[in-house]
Amino acid sequence: MAVKIVTPLTDETVAQLKAGDDVRISGVIYTARDAAHKRLVNLIKEGEELPLDIRGQVIYYVGPTPAKPGKAIGSAGPTTSYRMDSYAPLLMEHGLKGMIGKGMRSRVVKDAMVKYKAVYFAAIGGAGALLAKSVKASELVAYEDLGPEAIMKLTVEDFPCVVVNDIYGNDLYEEGVRKYRIG
């Protein structure tokens, strides 16, 4: 049975999540990929205000396709997360609580998740059209010049994902390898 959570996330919410949990997210999540992450981190380093308050928020690593008439968003499948690894720790330090993408995270990012109480969720790659059905509304927030990689505010209902890395240092990918290793 899926764990239902609502954004923004709190320390109490992320403390309940464990690697391997099937989760359904409702509320607001934000989109951002590497170019947007670079801009956010540069703003932090320059002491400037961010175009969104990231405290308690979830960032989905996605560059959605244009919406068809009557739809909130086009296909919205996850992108490979490691491209955001050099930026994620600083964002977590400033309050980011969740990230959604696909693939493994670096040791530095996993350590930052433990230190700052954040979680990493995986969404199913190749299922962008299906994932888009959970998006009820979308709104441009910042960096329109980045096209599909602009930061967007998505209102989601029961967005499906799985906890890969939790605040306790657990990693679903590593556990899976151990569990099924032969010999």
pLDDT at 177 exceeding the cut of 80 = no
Give the CATH number, domain containing residue 63: 3.20.130.10
Query: 20: Cβ–Cβ under 8 A, 6 or more apart, which residues?
Result: 162, 163, 170, 172, 175
pLDDT at 147 exceeding the cut of 90 = yes
Residue 102's pLDDT is 96
Mean of pLDDT values over 151-175: 96
Strands 22-31 vs 151-165: parallel, antiparallel or unpaired: antiparallel
Are the beta carbons of 163 and 172 closer than 8 angstroms? yes
CA distances in angstroms from 47 to 89, 94, 124, 176, listed in the order given? 17, 12, 36, 41
Q: Tell me the percentage of the chain whose pLDDT exceeds 90.
A: 86
Residue 180's pLDDT is 73
Q: What domain count does the chain have?
A: 1
pLDDT band at 183 (very low <50, low <70, confident <90, very high): low
Instruction: For residue 147, give its domain range.
Output: 3-180
- Could you tell me which of 54, 27, 34 has the C-alpha nearest to residue 148? 34
Q: Where are the beta strands (DSSP E) in 48-128?
A: 58-60, 98-101, 119-122
pLDDT band at 98 (very low <50, low <70, confident <90, very high): very high
Distance from C-alpha of 171 to C-alpha of 128, rounded to nearest angstrom: 24
State the catalytic residues.
37
Letter string b/e over residues 107-139, b meaning 16 or more CB atoms within 10 A of that residue's CB: eebbebbeebbbbbbbbeeeebeebbbbbeebe
pLDDT band at 162 (very low <50, low <70, confident <90, very high): very high
Distance from C-alpha of 16 to C-alpha of 11, rounded to nearest angstrom: 9
Distance from C-alpha of 10 to C-alpha of 26, rounded to nearest angstrom: 14
Q: Tell me the percentage of the chain whose pLDDT exceeds 70.
A: 99
What does pTM read for this prediction? 0.95
